[in-house]
């Protein structure tokens, strides 16, 4: 057989090892996905094995401690020295690359074995098939170990959460900026699909932007996909919400010096927020899903926002609108679960002239959207219709306020509350402790 060079990447291997030795965070992140046999270079595999041994002994994988294991072996020490020039912030991506190359080598090996078995006629066909399935399943298991957790591990996590709750540390997910929502849900939870629904001009996008900015201010990355607004409009809205200058003024009028100063300060405060846009992937669900995957890999985002479902091109001609919307929502839910992020999808409600108060049944095009979602938030601004609030909020003023109704809350229950809404800057704000809140005691 010809001499083949099997898939491998020595530089990626060096980057992984160097980062483990020089960056205190790297080993904890890389360890769940890398084993020593994944290294193609036998010296690299040996180094990683020694790093694992140091760790088992309770020692940090330190370049000095590691080199002590090679005392008397000058060549080995010099090889480690060469590796130590490969520090990179992208070590996790390189670890995935090392893993991927290893899988390819395994597949090559399985292919060779399969080819031999098939041609030699020494094995029954059923046995060949059985061996093949087992080998493929072994590969899958070896690379997905990090996602497997035992029941007892998970129970410990639950108890930790209970302990935090007792201490008043109820925030387990991403801070929404709304006390009431945080209190019932612990914040936006990873793997959740959250639907924000409302009729036109009720502030769906603005509510989502409030969540995004709050998340980004706490350092959590968010990817935003808007089919209605370009990134410059979205950014202007965010600036508007945070400076009090209406976005229409920012974009289309000549601002005076005072406003420019306020805006500059706002930009200074918000300029580095980890909010990511991808204008090229905004109307097609497949493209959005691919882009979210990339954003997760590249920027380690905590969440993504899709504005809005009914405008999406779903690529499935055979489906009717209801099924295709349900399908899009389910795909987003699966993606949230797979990538361990939260996803907010905005959705239109059917108009109801006689009673505009939103409810789940009016989720346009699909009850399946509500089915796929973990949380459905309905936004209602009676001021827009010149109406008053429904019970039990009839006593509250509608001027500059809005009602948020968590009409579906998997694991969190239901809740309605009133918050502030500034129509000029399209800014939703928490009333804090003074909020006129009524919590419903309804649970699924």
Partner 1 sequence: MKTIFIKKSSRKNPASELEHYLNLAYELVRDYKFVSDLMKDKELILSQPDEEIKMIGAMIYLLCKSINSDYEVTFSENGISVEIVRQ
**Residues that bind partner 1 in the complex, under the rule CB under 8 A:** 21-25, 60, 62-65, 67, 71-72, 74, 77-78, 80-82, 84-85, 87, 89, 219, 221, 272, 274, 299
Residue 102 carries which DSSP code? H
Nearer to partner 1 by C-beta: 26 or 363?
26
Closest approach of partner 1 to the CB of residue 82, in Å: 8
**Residues 6+ away with beta carbon under 8 Å from 352:** 362
Nearer to partner 1 by C-beta: 60 or 155?
60
Q: Are 307 and 229 in contact (CB under 8 A)?
A: yes
Query: Which residue(s) pair with 347 in the sheet?
Result: 197
Nearer to partner 1 by C-beta: 63 or 171?
63
Nearer to partner 1 by C-beta: 244 or 274?
274
What secondary structure does DSSP assign to 245-265, as a single string? --HHHHHHS---HHHHHHHHH
Least Cα distance to 341 among 237, 226, 425, 221 occurs for 221
In a 3-state reduction of DSSP, which class is residue 51? helix
Nearer to partner 1 by C-beta: 187 or 221?
221
Residue with the two structure tokens 């965010």: 238
Closest approach of partner 1 to the CB of residue 80, in Å: 6
Closest approach of partner 1 to the CB of residue 46, in Å: 16
Closest approach of partner 1 to the CB of residue 175, in Å: 17
Closest approach of partner 1 to the CB of residue 326, in Å: 34
Nearer to partner 1 by C-beta: 22 or 423?
22
Q: Which helix (H) or strand (E) holds 378?
A: strand 375-380
Closest approach of partner 1 to the CB of residue 64, in Å: 4
Nearer to partner 1 by C-beta: 301 or 329?
301
Closest approach of partner 1 to the CB of residue 41, in Å: 18
Closest approach of partner 1 to the CB of residue 73, in Å: 8
Q: How many CB atoms lie within 10 A of CB 262?
A: 17
CA distances from 9 to 32, 87, 97 (A): 20, 15, 8
Please report how many Cα atoms fall inside a 13 Å half-sphere around the Cα of residue 329, on the Cβ side.
Answer: 30
Q: Given the DSSP bridges, would you call strands 437-438 and 415-422 parallel, antiparallel or unpaired?
A: antiparallel
Closest approach of partner 1 to the CB of residue 23, in Å: 5
Nearer to partner 1 by C-beta: 254 or 272?
272
> Phi and psi of 32, rounded to 5°?
-65, -20
In a 3-state reduction of DSSP, which class is residue 407? strand
Nearer to partner 1 by C-beta: 83 or 370?
83
In a 3-state reduction of DSSP, which class is residue 377? strand
Query: How far is residue 186's CA from residue 181's CA, in Å, rounded to a whole number?
Result: 7
Instruction: Catalogue the E-assigned strands of 151-273.
Output: 193-198, 222-226
């Amino acid at each position: 057989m010809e001499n083949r060079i099997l898939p491998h990447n020595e530089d990626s291997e060096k980057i992984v090892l160097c980062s483990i030795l020089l960056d205190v965070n790297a080993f904890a992140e890389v360890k769940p996905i890398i084993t020593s046999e994944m290294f193609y270079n036998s010296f690299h595999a040996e180094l990683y094995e020694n790093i694992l041994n140091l760790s088992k002994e309770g020692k940090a994988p330190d370049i000095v401690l590691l080199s002590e294991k090679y005392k008397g072996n000058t060549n080995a020490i010099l090889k480690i020295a060469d590796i130590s020039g490969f520090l990179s912030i992208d070590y996790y991506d390189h670890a995935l690359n090392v893993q991927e190359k290893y899988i390819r080598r395994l597949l090559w090996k399985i292919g060779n074995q399969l080819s031999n078995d098939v041609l030699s006629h020494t094995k029954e066909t059923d046995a060949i098939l059985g061996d093949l399935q087992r080998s493929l399943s072994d590969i899958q298991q070896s690379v997905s170990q990090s996602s497997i957790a035992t029941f007892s591990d998970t129970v410990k996590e639950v108890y930790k959460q209970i302990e935090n709750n007792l201490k008043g540390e109820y925030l387990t997910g991403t801070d929404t900026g709304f006390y009431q929502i945080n209190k019932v849900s612990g914040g936006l939870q990873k793997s959740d699909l959250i639907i924000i629904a409302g009729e036109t001009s009720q502030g769906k996008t603005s509510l989502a932007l409030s969540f995004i900015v709050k998340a980004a201010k706490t350092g959590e990355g968010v990817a935003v996909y808007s089919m209605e607004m370009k990134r410059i409009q979205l950014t202007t809205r965010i600036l508007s919400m945070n400076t009090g200058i209406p976005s229409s003024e920012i974009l289309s009028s000549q601002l005076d010096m005072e406003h420019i100063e306020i805006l500059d300060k706002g930009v200074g405060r918000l300029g580095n927020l980890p909010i990511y846009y991808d204008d090229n992937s905004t109307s097609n669900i497949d493209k959005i899903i691919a882009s979210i995957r990339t954003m997760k890999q590249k920027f380690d985002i905590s969440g993504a926002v899709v504005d809005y479902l009914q405008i999406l091109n779903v690529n499935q001609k055979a489906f009717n609108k209801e099924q295709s919307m349900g399908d899009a929502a389910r795909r987003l839910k699966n993606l949230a679960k797979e990538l361990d992020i939260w996803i907010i999808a905005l959705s239109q409600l059917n108009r109801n002239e006689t009673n505009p108060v939103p409810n789940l049944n009016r989720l346009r095009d699909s009850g399946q959207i509500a089915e796929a979602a973990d949380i459905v938030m309905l936004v209602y601004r009676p001021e827009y219709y010149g109406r008053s609030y429904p019970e039990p909020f009839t006593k509250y003023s509608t001027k500059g306020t809005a009602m948020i109704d968590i009409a579906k809350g998997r694991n969190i229950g239901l809740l309605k509350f009133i918050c502030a809404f500034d129509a000029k800057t399209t800014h939703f704000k928490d009333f804090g402790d003074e909020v006129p809140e009524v919590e419903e005691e309804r649970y699924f």
